[in-house]
Amino acid sequence: MLVAAGAIAGALAWRWAFHDLPELPAHVDALWEVRLEPSVTVMADDGTVLGVRGPLYGRRVRLEEMPAHLPQAFLAIEDRRFFEHDGVDYRGLARAFWVNVRAGRTVQGGSTLTMQLVKNLVLTPERSLRRKIQEIRLALALERALSKQEILELYLNRVYLGEQAFGVEAAARRYFNTTTSELSLQESALLAALPKAPTRLAPTENMAEALARARRVLSAMQEAGFIDPIAYLTAASIPAELAEGLIAPEEAQGWGHVFDAAQAEALRILGENGGAPDLVIITTIDPRLQRAAQLAVNGVLDEQGAARRAGEGALAAIAPDGAVRALVGGRDYRASQFNRATQARRQPGSAFKPIVYAAAFEAGMDPASPFEDRAIDIEGWSPGNFGGGFRGRITLADALKRSINTVAAQAGVRAGLPNVTAMAGRLGVVTPLNPVPAVTLGSGEVRLLELTGAYNVFARDGRRFEPFLVREIRSARGELIWQAPETGSGEEAISVEHARWMSTMLQSVVIDGTGTRARIPGHRAAGKTGTSQSSRDAWFVGYSAHLTAGVWVGNDDDSPMNNVTGGQLPAEIWRRFMVEAHTGVRPAPLSAPEPRQRSERDERLAAFYASLSERFDAMLPGSGG
């Protein structure tokens, strides 16, 4: 009877403990994929993590790739008898039970590395006797299936170390901006300190307490014979430091516009269902330039935005090859996720005129071509100049420098309005534009990033380099999924001669035209201001030999600002950013020659003599009139 009762009790206990016991994957390799949740990690060009949505996994790192002190640090503090037990350290369990009884609460867990691993891979976070029994059974099964080295390697690659980082490779990137193989003794000790309470001890949140436990790890390593007293004293006296320039979690959230844009570009590249469930997107962003860009936008608008009724701003900066080095979609991502650099379509005003003049060059005009700045009527449309008044005879070059509307309209009509919109497409403005007369003054809506890319064509002698934000896409294990092709020499959009004409004219805008506020001390610059009707949009787009950048300022509800022009707030933002971007950068000339410095009287004389030449040519035999 007692035997039967015991059997029944045992069967009931067995069912109570194991009726819902999950199974370990039959194949060893499948253990590496268990409970991997989809995640996206966006990184800067230098490997800095800009943001993580979902867990951050590192590539699979073999034990032989790790410095010896890394696994030793975890073994010393978490499971010193790892190579002696069969997955369960009964001595450790008994010690933990006694400590917990005396304390009246759970102080020690008594779990081995193997038990921690099965808990993380297949069990729930429930803390109960039944869950501990399941943990023990699965740990024993795992020890029969894998070698000690395989278990230790799997543990180190999957252990949670705070800040959404799973595994030592992800944590090395997250906290120290390095790889596992480069971890120092101090850094290894700090990582080994985290499994006890990864959220509370995360160095980005509680560095002091994390370092205190790291010293306990170093002490345990000395007690275990992994390091000698000299190594202990050295490491304890010079603690680990977080990587310089590490993106803090709150700052990373502020960079959400970059994250969204990079993720959207990656999905376009791979297709909605392409790639891997967990992606690592390596962008072209330079963290220093990104910070400078955000500071410039927020700084100017914080200082002057309220008085000028300017609520928002955006900035895009690209390298000569089209790589996006900074992208500010707005003042605060947490307040608005709308990206004004890549999503907003706004009227560029006079910032569109260089495109009009590029079409005029192809129609046979040149910078010295004369025009009459006067009242005009084009199909019932009569554009005026900013501030009113007319200047009379003027060259195309001076008209751009002084942002004369009547001349841009005449040049665009003479070049052919379909040719103007086609030119915009060739330069990189992919937003459709209607070939109507008002398009010559920037009435069509464009995106900031695409207009910035168009200006980059003038800076690069007529070669077009498509702006791109994503350099590589990898899986969380490090496998390359996609890589940006080499940009090479770009695609010819306009001739070298026409690009240099335009570049010389745009330098005049900055030297003594409407964009003087955008001057960069010690560096040559070219650019153009733009203001839409009633100051609803204000722009400055320009470049140096090293960088092309565009700035937009306005309001999301399209309400007018307080007489803001492109030569004011946008030019000031552009200058602040470019000055910081060029700190420590050796000055380099633009490929186009500098403009000749001529007075307004000289410009009018040049236009007059050019017009005489045109009239004389028209009277020659065979001229057609």
> Which residues are designated catalytic?
78, 350
Q: Is 289 helix (H, G, I), strand (E, B) or coil?
A: helix
Q: Which of 497, 494, 511 is nearest to 595 (CA)?
A: 511
Structure tokens at 397: 């070059």
Centroid of chain to Cα 289? 10
Q: What number of other Cβ atoms are within 10 A of residue 20's Cβ?
A: 9
Paired residues of 315 in beta bridges: 328, 551
Q: Is 480 helix (H, G, I), strand (E, B) or coil?
A: strand
Q: Which amino acid is at 401?
A: K
For the CA atoms of 353, 356, 360, 363, what is the dihedral angle to 10 degrees?
Answer: 170
- The Cα–Cα gap between 359 and 231 comes to 70
DSSP state of 513: S
- The Cα–Cα gap between 61 and 169 comes to 7
**Distance in Å from the first CA to the final CA of the chain:** 126
Q: Is 40 helix (H, G, I), strand (E, B) or coil?
A: strand
Residue 270: left (phi > 0), alpha (psi -120 to 50), or beta? alpha
Q: Is 607 helix (H, G, I), strand (E, B) or coil?
A: helix
- The Cα–Cα gap between 171 and 161 comes to 6
Q: Which amino acid is at 572?
A: E
Q: Which of 278, 478, 454 is nearest to 358 (CA)?
A: 454
- The Cα–Cα gap between 474 and 476 comes to 6
Whether residue 510 contacts residue 516, with contact meaning beta carbons closer than 8 Å, is answered with yes
Please, is 170 exposed, middle or buried when counting C-beta atoms within 10 Å of its C-beta (0-12, 13-18, 19+)? buried
What is the strand order of the sheet 324-328 is part of?
324-328, 312-318, 548-554, 537-543, 526-531
Whether residue 319 contacts residue 352, with contact meaning beta carbons closer than 8 Å, is answered with no
Q: Rg of the chain over CA atoms, in angstroms?
A: 33
Q: How far is CA 33 from CA 27, 28, 270, in A?
A: 11, 10, 22
- The Cα–Cα gap between 215 and 189 comes to 8
Q: How many helices (H) and strands (E) does the chain have?
A: 21, 16
